[in-house]
Protein backbone atom coordinates (compact mmCIF):
# COMPACT_ATOMS: atom_id res chain seq x y z
CA UNK A 1 0.00 0.00 0.00
CA UNK A 2 1.48 3.36 -0.99
CA UNK A 3 1.05 6.85 0.31
CA UNK A 4 0.19 6.18 3.92
CA UNK A 5 3.55 7.14 5.34
CA UNK A 6 5.34 10.42 5.08
CA UNK A 7 8.47 8.39 4.65
CA UNK A 8 8.01 7.16 1.14
CA UNK A 9 8.87 3.62 0.36
CA UNK A 10 8.25 2.10 3.79
CA UNK A 11 5.94 -0.84 3.89
CA UNK A 12 2.61 -0.56 5.57
CA UNK A 13 1.06 -2.91 8.09
CA UNK A 14 -1.86 -3.22 5.76
CA UNK A 15 -4.50 -4.94 7.91
CA UNK A 16 -4.39 -2.41 10.73
CA UNK A 17 -3.20 0.52 8.75
CA UNK A 18 -5.90 0.23 6.10
CA UNK A 19 -8.56 0.29 8.79
CA UNK A 20 -6.92 3.22 10.47
CA UNK A 21 -6.76 5.17 7.27
CA UNK A 22 -10.33 4.34 6.33
CA UNK A 23 -12.02 4.90 9.68
CA UNK A 24 -9.63 7.00 11.72
CA UNK A 25 -10.29 10.48 10.32
CA UNK A 26 -14.08 10.22 10.70
CA UNK A 27 -14.28 8.60 14.12
CA UNK A 28 -15.30 10.90 16.98
CA UNK A 29 -12.85 9.25 19.34
CA UNK A 30 -9.69 8.40 17.45
CA UNK A 31 -7.91 7.18 20.56
CA UNK A 32 -10.50 4.44 21.10
CA UNK A 33 -10.18 3.51 17.43
CA UNK A 34 -6.46 3.25 17.81
CA UNK A 35 -6.76 1.17 20.95
CA UNK A 36 -9.25 -1.13 19.25
CA UNK A 37 -6.88 -1.59 16.37
CA UNK A 38 -4.00 -2.11 18.70
CA UNK A 39 -5.95 -4.76 20.56
CA UNK A 40 -6.39 -6.53 17.24
CA UNK A 41 -2.71 -6.26 16.71
CA UNK A 42 -1.86 -7.64 20.15
CA UNK A 43 -4.24 -10.55 19.68
CA UNK A 44 -3.03 -11.45 16.23
CA UNK A 45 0.43 -9.98 15.77
CA UNK A 46 1.86 -9.86 12.30
CA UNK A 47 4.51 -12.37 11.41
CA UNK A 48 6.95 -9.63 10.53
CA UNK A 49 7.36 -7.74 13.79
CA UNK A 50 9.42 -4.98 12.21
CA UNK A 51 6.14 -3.73 10.75
CA UNK A 52 4.87 -2.90 14.21
CA UNK A 53 7.11 0.11 14.20
CA UNK A 54 5.44 1.46 11.08
CA UNK A 55 2.01 1.15 12.59
CA UNK A 56 2.97 2.67 15.92
CA UNK A 57 4.69 5.56 14.22
CA UNK A 58 1.62 6.34 12.19
CA UNK A 59 -0.64 6.26 15.25
CA UNK A 60 1.73 8.56 17.05
CA UNK A 61 1.67 11.06 14.24
CA UNK A 62 -2.11 11.06 14.06
CA UNK A 63 -2.87 11.23 17.77
CA UNK A 64 0.35 12.13 19.55
CA UNK A 65 -1.07 13.32 22.89
CA UNK A 66 -3.82 10.79 23.21
CA UNK A 67 -1.60 7.79 22.76
CA UNK A 68 1.09 8.66 25.29
CA UNK A 69 1.36 5.73 27.72
CA UNK A 70 -2.14 4.56 26.88
CA UNK A 71 -3.02 1.43 28.89
CA UNK A 72 -3.73 -1.64 26.86
CA UNK A 73 -5.66 -4.81 27.57
CA UNK A 74 -3.64 -7.10 29.79
CA UNK A 75 -1.72 -4.21 31.36
CA UNK A 76 0.52 -3.78 28.34
CA UNK A 77 1.76 -0.32 27.48
CA UNK A 78 2.17 1.11 24.04
CA UNK A 79 5.86 1.10 23.36
CA UNK A 80 7.44 3.18 20.66
CA UNK A 81 9.12 1.05 18.04
CA UNK A 82 11.76 2.28 15.71
CA UNK A 83 10.75 2.83 12.13
CA UNK A 84 14.16 1.75 11.08
CA UNK A 85 15.04 -1.89 11.50
CA UNK A 86 16.85 -2.58 14.77
CA UNK A 87 20.58 -2.23 15.18
CA UNK A 88 20.81 -5.99 14.92
CA UNK A 89 19.70 -5.54 11.34
CA UNK A 90 22.68 -3.31 10.70
CA UNK A 91 21.12 0.14 10.91
CA UNK A 92 22.05 2.88 13.31
CA UNK A 93 20.28 3.80 16.50
CA UNK A 94 19.55 7.48 17.13
CA UNK A 95 22.18 9.32 19.09
CA UNK A 96 21.15 10.55 22.54
CA UNK A 97 19.97 14.16 22.43
CA UNK A 98 18.67 13.98 18.88
CA UNK A 99 16.34 16.94 18.18
CA UNK A 100 12.66 16.13 18.56
CA UNK A 101 11.38 18.44 15.86
CA UNK A 102 12.28 18.99 12.24
CA UNK A 103 11.95 22.61 11.16
CA UNK A 104 12.04 23.23 7.42
CA UNK A 105 12.60 26.66 5.90
CA UNK A 106 12.07 27.94 2.42
CA UNK A 107 14.45 30.78 1.42
CA UNK A 108 13.05 33.30 -1.09
CA UNK A 109 10.43 35.58 0.47
CA UNK A 110 10.56 33.45 3.61
CA UNK A 111 14.00 33.98 5.13
CA UNK A 112 14.83 36.87 2.84
CA UNK A 113 12.28 39.49 1.96
CA UNK A 114 12.78 39.28 -1.80
CA UNK A 115 12.90 36.71 -4.57
CA UNK A 116 16.68 36.33 -4.77
CA UNK A 117 16.55 35.48 -8.48
CA UNK A 118 15.16 38.99 -9.01
CA UNK A 119 17.72 40.48 -6.60
CA UNK A 120 20.45 38.86 -8.68
CA UNK A 121 19.73 41.30 -11.49
CA UNK A 122 21.36 44.03 -9.40
CA UNK A 123 24.65 42.43 -10.45
CA UNK A 124 23.76 42.68 -14.17
CA UNK A 125 24.97 45.54 -16.39
CA UNK A 126 22.42 48.34 -16.00
CA UNK A 127 20.72 46.14 -13.37
CA UNK A 128 18.53 44.53 -15.99
CA UNK A 129 18.52 41.71 -18.48
CA UNK A 130 18.25 42.15 -22.24
CA UNK A 131 14.75 41.60 -23.63
CA UNK A 132 16.09 38.85 -25.91
CA UNK A 133 17.15 36.85 -22.86
CA UNK A 134 13.95 37.52 -20.91
CA UNK A 135 11.95 36.32 -23.89
CA UNK A 136 13.47 32.85 -23.59
CA UNK A 137 11.58 32.08 -20.36
CA UNK A 138 9.10 29.21 -20.69
CA UNK A 139 6.62 28.32 -17.99
CA UNK A 140 7.67 25.23 -16.04
CA UNK A 141 11.30 25.64 -17.14
CA UNK A 142 12.42 28.38 -14.81
CA UNK A 143 15.64 26.65 -13.79
CA UNK A 144 16.77 26.43 -17.41
CA UNK A 145 16.02 30.13 -17.77
CA UNK A 146 18.10 30.94 -14.68
CA UNK A 147 20.95 28.85 -16.08
CA UNK A 148 20.94 31.21 -19.08
CA UNK A 149 20.84 34.22 -16.74
CA UNK A 150 23.92 32.90 -14.91
CA UNK A 151 25.69 32.36 -18.22
CA UNK A 152 24.79 35.87 -19.39
CA UNK A 153 26.19 37.39 -16.20
CA UNK A 154 29.41 35.43 -16.62
CA UNK A 155 29.70 36.47 -20.26
CA UNK A 156 29.27 40.09 -19.20
CA UNK A 157 32.19 39.79 -16.80
CA UNK A 158 30.18 39.62 -13.59
CA UNK A 159 32.36 37.79 -11.05
CA UNK A 160 31.14 35.35 -8.37
CA UNK A 161 32.23 37.89 -5.74
CA UNK A 162 29.90 40.51 -7.32
CA UNK A 163 27.03 38.04 -7.14
CA UNK A 164 27.93 37.08 -3.58
CA UNK A 165 27.71 40.70 -2.49
CA UNK A 166 24.22 40.99 -3.94
CA UNK A 167 23.04 37.97 -1.96
CA UNK A 168 24.71 39.25 1.19
CA UNK A 169 22.75 42.49 0.96
CA UNK A 170 19.26 41.00 0.53
CA UNK A 171 17.26 42.01 3.61
CA UNK A 172 15.77 39.40 5.90
CA UNK A 173 12.01 39.27 6.36
CA UNK A 174 10.61 41.10 9.37
CA UNK A 175 11.23 39.20 12.60
CA UNK A 176 13.57 36.62 11.05
CA UNK A 177 16.55 37.67 13.18
CA UNK A 178 14.36 37.28 16.26
CA UNK A 179 13.35 33.78 15.14
CA UNK A 180 16.97 32.81 14.39
CA UNK A 181 18.11 34.05 17.81
CA UNK A 182 15.42 31.95 19.47
CA UNK A 183 16.38 28.87 17.45
CA UNK A 184 20.02 29.39 18.31
CA UNK A 185 19.12 29.10 22.00
CA UNK A 186 16.87 26.09 21.38
CA UNK A 187 19.14 24.24 19.00
CA UNK A 188 18.87 20.99 20.98
CA UNK A 189 15.12 20.79 20.23
CA UNK A 190 15.12 21.51 16.52
CA UNK A 191 16.86 20.01 13.55
CA UNK A 192 16.71 22.75 10.94
CA UNK A 193 17.04 22.39 7.20
CA UNK A 194 16.43 24.64 4.22
CA UNK A 195 14.83 23.54 0.96
CA UNK A 196 14.97 26.17 -1.74
CA UNK A 197 14.49 26.42 -5.47
CA UNK A 198 17.04 29.26 -5.55
CA UNK A 199 20.66 28.06 -5.61
CA UNK A 200 23.30 26.89 -3.14
CA UNK A 201 25.78 29.67 -3.88
CA UNK A 202 23.24 32.41 -3.18
CA UNK A 203 21.61 30.80 -0.16
CA UNK A 204 24.96 29.99 1.46
CA UNK A 205 26.25 33.51 0.80
CA UNK A 206 23.17 35.08 2.31
CA UNK A 207 23.06 32.88 5.40
CA UNK A 208 26.78 33.30 6.10
CA UNK A 209 26.30 37.07 5.99
CA UNK A 210 23.55 36.81 8.61
CA UNK A 211 25.81 34.79 10.89
CA UNK A 212 23.20 32.03 11.17
CA UNK A 213 24.45 29.52 8.60
CA UNK A 214 25.34 27.20 11.47
CA UNK A 215 21.68 26.80 12.43
CA UNK A 216 21.03 24.67 9.37
CA UNK A 217 21.99 21.02 9.26
CA UNK A 218 21.43 20.93 5.53
CA UNK A 219 20.96 23.40 2.68
CA UNK A 220 19.11 21.67 -0.14
CA UNK A 221 18.95 23.73 -3.31
CA UNK A 222 19.93 23.79 -6.97
CA UNK A 223 23.72 23.33 -7.16
CA UNK A 224 25.66 26.42 -8.20
CA UNK A 225 29.18 27.71 -7.95
CA UNK A 226 32.13 28.88 -10.03
CA UNK A 227 33.20 26.56 -12.85
CA UNK A 228 36.80 25.97 -13.92
CA UNK A 229 36.85 29.41 -15.60
CA UNK A 230 35.54 31.27 -12.56
CA UNK A 231 32.06 31.64 -14.09
CA UNK A 232 29.04 30.93 -11.92
CA UNK A 233 26.97 28.02 -13.22
CA UNK A 234 23.66 26.60 -12.10
CA UNK A 235 22.21 23.05 -12.38
CA UNK A 236 18.83 21.47 -11.60
CA UNK A 237 18.57 19.77 -8.20
CA UNK A 238 16.99 16.52 -9.38
CA UNK A 239 14.30 15.05 -11.60
CA UNK A 240 10.94 13.76 -10.43
CA UNK A 241 7.48 12.72 -11.60
CA UNK A 242 5.38 15.19 -9.60
CA UNK A 243 2.93 16.97 -11.91
CA UNK A 244 2.57 19.95 -9.55
CA UNK A 245 6.19 21.05 -9.33
CA UNK A 246 8.77 22.61 -11.65
CA UNK A 247 10.89 20.02 -13.42
CA UNK A 248 14.03 20.68 -11.37
CA UNK A 249 12.63 20.38 -7.84
CA UNK A 250 9.72 18.80 -6.00
CA UNK A 251 9.98 19.74 -2.34
CA UNK A 252 7.71 16.83 -1.39
CA UNK A 253 10.22 14.43 -2.86
CA UNK A 254 13.13 16.30 -1.26
CA UNK A 255 11.55 16.21 2.19
CA UNK A 256 10.45 12.57 1.86
CA UNK A 257 13.99 11.58 0.98
CA UNK A 258 15.38 13.61 3.86
CA UNK A 259 13.02 11.94 6.35
CA UNK A 260 13.89 8.54 4.98
CA UNK A 261 17.61 9.26 5.25
CA UNK A 262 17.20 10.39 8.87
CA UNK A 263 15.07 7.32 9.65
CA UNK A 264 17.96 5.19 8.41
CA UNK A 265 20.13 7.08 10.93
CA UNK A 266 17.62 6.13 13.63
CA UNK A 267 16.18 9.68 13.85
CA UNK A 268 12.36 9.98 13.97
CA UNK A 269 10.93 13.41 14.52
CA UNK A 270 7.92 13.89 16.72
CA UNK A 271 6.65 16.74 14.57
CA UNK A 272 7.41 18.58 11.38
CA UNK A 273 7.27 22.37 11.15
CA UNK A 274 7.49 24.11 7.80
CA UNK A 275 8.00 27.84 7.18
CA UNK A 276 7.38 28.95 3.60
CA UNK A 277 5.52 31.20 1.23
CA UNK A 278 5.39 29.86 -2.31
CA UNK A 279 3.21 27.55 -4.36
CA UNK A 280 6.10 25.06 -4.42
CA UNK A 281 5.97 24.94 -0.61
CA UNK A 282 2.48 23.51 -0.82
CA UNK A 283 3.45 20.16 -2.36
CA UNK A 284 5.30 18.95 0.78
CA UNK A 285 2.25 19.84 2.88
CA UNK A 286 1.01 16.33 2.05
CA UNK A 287 3.66 15.07 4.48
CA UNK A 288 2.22 16.93 7.45
CA UNK A 289 -0.27 15.35 9.83
CA UNK A 290 -1.74 15.93 13.30
CA UNK A 291 0.54 17.99 15.51
CA UNK A 292 2.64 19.19 12.57
CA UNK A 293 2.47 22.89 11.76
CA UNK A 294 2.70 24.80 8.49
CA UNK A 295 3.75 28.43 8.84
CA UNK A 296 2.75 30.05 5.52
CA UNK A 297 3.54 33.72 5.02
CA UNK A 298 0.22 35.50 5.24
CA UNK A 299 -1.33 36.39 1.88
CA UNK A 300 1.27 34.49 -0.15
CA UNK A 301 0.46 31.51 -2.46
CA UNK A 302 1.25 28.79 0.12
CA UNK A 303 -1.24 30.39 2.52
CA UNK A 304 -3.98 30.51 -0.11
CA UNK A 305 -3.37 26.92 -1.23
CA UNK A 306 -3.57 25.59 2.34
CA UNK A 307 -6.79 27.54 2.91
CA UNK A 308 -8.26 25.90 -0.19
CA UNK A 309 -7.07 22.47 0.94
CA UNK A 310 -8.72 23.00 4.33
CA UNK A 311 -12.03 23.85 2.65
CA UNK A 312 -12.00 20.66 0.57
CA UNK A 313 -14.25 17.82 1.69
CA UNK A 314 -12.58 15.87 3.20
CA UNK A 315 -9.83 18.42 4.01
CA UNK A 316 -6.68 17.82 2.02
CA UNK A 317 -4.43 19.28 4.71
CA UNK A 318 -4.02 17.41 7.99
CA UNK A 319 -1.64 19.63 9.95
CA UNK A 320 -2.23 22.96 11.68
CA UNK A 321 -1.74 26.28 9.94
CA UNK A 322 -0.22 29.38 11.57
CA UNK A 323 0.06 32.24 9.06
CA UNK A 324 2.62 34.94 9.82
CA UNK A 325 3.56 38.45 8.73
CA UNK A 326 6.53 38.71 11.04
CA UNK A 327 8.68 35.69 11.84
CA UNK A 328 8.33 36.77 15.47
CA UNK A 329 4.89 35.12 15.26
CA UNK A 330 6.58 31.85 14.26
CA UNK A 331 8.95 32.21 17.20
CA UNK A 332 6.00 32.79 19.55
CA UNK A 333 4.21 29.66 18.37
CA UNK A 334 7.31 27.48 18.63
CA UNK A 335 7.90 28.83 22.12
CA UNK A 336 4.39 27.76 23.13
CA UNK A 337 4.96 24.29 21.70
CA UNK A 338 8.16 23.91 23.72
CA UNK A 339 6.32 24.95 26.90
CA UNK A 340 3.71 22.24 26.40
CA UNK A 341 6.21 19.51 25.59
MG1 LIG B 1 9.74 31.21 -1.33
ZN1 LIG C 1 5.78 18.13 -6.02
Query: Could you give all domains of the chain from N- to C-terminal order, each with its CATH number?
Result: 14-81 (no CATH), 101-340 (3.40.50.1000)
- Percent pLDDT > 70 in the chain is 72
Average pLDDT, the chain: 82
Contact predicate 149/123, CB 8 Å: no
Given pLDDT bands bounded at 50, 70 and 90, which one contains residue 94?
A: low
Q: What are phi and psi of 216, to 5 degrees?
A: -95, 125
C-alpha 105 to ligand 1 mean position (Å) = 9
Task: Give the residue numbers marked as catalytic.
Answer: 106, 108
| C-alpha span between 247 and 79 (Å, rounded) | 42
pTM of the model: 0.75
By CB atoms closer than 10 A (0-12, 13-18, 19+), residue 281 is buried
Proximal ligand: closest to the CA of 279 = 1
| C-alpha span between 285 and 183 (Å, rounded) | 22
Angstrom distances, CA of residue 259 to CA of 102, 159, 245: 9, 37, 19
Given pLDDT bands bounded at 50, 70 and 90, which one contains residue 340?
A: confident
**At a CB cut-off of 8 Å and minimum separation 6, what does 244 contact?**
250, 282, 283
C-alpha 170 to ligand 1 mean position (Å) = 14
* Whether the predicted pLDDT of 90 surpasses 80: no
C-alpha 223 to ligand 1 mean position (Å) = 17
Proximal ligand: closest to the CA of 278 = 1
C-alpha 242 to ligand 2 mean position (Å) = 5
Proximal ligand: closest to the CA of 104 = 1
CB-proximal residues (5 Å) to ion ligand 2: 242, 244-245, 250, 252, 283
Amino acid sequence: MNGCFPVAGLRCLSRVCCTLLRDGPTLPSPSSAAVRLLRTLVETPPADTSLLGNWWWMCQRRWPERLANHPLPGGLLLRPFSLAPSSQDGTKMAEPGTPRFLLVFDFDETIVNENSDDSLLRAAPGQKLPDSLRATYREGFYNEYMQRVFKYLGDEGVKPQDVREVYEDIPLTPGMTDLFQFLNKQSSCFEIILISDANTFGVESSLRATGYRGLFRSIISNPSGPDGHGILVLSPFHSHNCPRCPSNMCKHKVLSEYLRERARDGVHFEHLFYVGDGANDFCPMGLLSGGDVAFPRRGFPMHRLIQEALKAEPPKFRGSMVPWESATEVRGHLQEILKKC
